[in-house]
Amino acid sequence: MKKPNPYFVFLAVFIIGYWSITLYHSYNSFENIILDRINTTEITSIQILKSSNEEEIKIDDPAEIEKIIHEFADVKLRRTNASDKPAKTYWISIFVNKGLRFGMSLTDTNYLHITDLDSKSKYHSGGFKITSKFDSEFIAKMFNK
């Protein structure tokens, strides 16, 4: 029986390893990208800007901040570069210890772009498609209060 060529074995292992790492970083969660990097009790405010009419709300109440974070907490994400053409976009700014830490844009097509202003790592920011159950209408309802 013929021995496999070590070059082909190395190449196969390399390709499988590269594919595994790429796949691992393609799937993520809101918890992993944001909540694991901060203490949620240090969130001092959240600002939300509705792009359609530039109406803005600022949430300072810790109970309301907790509700918003809870809505996002279990969201599962898949990294993507493409997004659908949204009708509505909400720009969400999360302030930690009174300084802007995270910027997010959420579209009505369940696309979320996250920017971690304290991290240079490409894995802490980027565009994501929301792959889990998520009701983005809870943000729209906040503007109707």
Span 90-119, pLDDT tens digits: 999 999 998 999 999 998 888 999 998 888
User: Encoding tokens for residue 46?
Assistant: 């959240």
* Cα distance between residue 4 and residue 41, in whole Å: 57
The pLDDT of residue 82 is above 90: no
3-state DSSP call for residue 102? strand
Listed range (25-29, 33-37, 137-141) with the worst mean pLDDT:
25-29
Confidence of residue 7 (pLDDT cuts 50, 70, 90): confident
* Cα distance between residue 46 and residue 65, in whole Å: 7
pLDDT of residue 23: 52
**36 vs 16: which has the higher pLDDT:** 36
37-64: pLDDT as tens digits: 898 899 999 999 998 888 999 999 999 9
Tokens 């720009």, located at residue: 91
Half-sphere exposure of 21 (CA within 13 A, CB side): 6
User: Encoding tokens for residue 79?
Assistant: 């990294």
pLDDT of residue 122: 67
Average pLDDT over residues 19-43: 76
In this prediction the pTM is 0.77
Three-class SS of 57-69: EEECCHHHHHHHH
- In this structure, the number of other CB atoms found within 10 A of the CB of residue 24 comes to 10
122-137: pLDDT as tens digits: 666 888 889 888 887 8
Contact 141, 124 (CB under 8 A): no
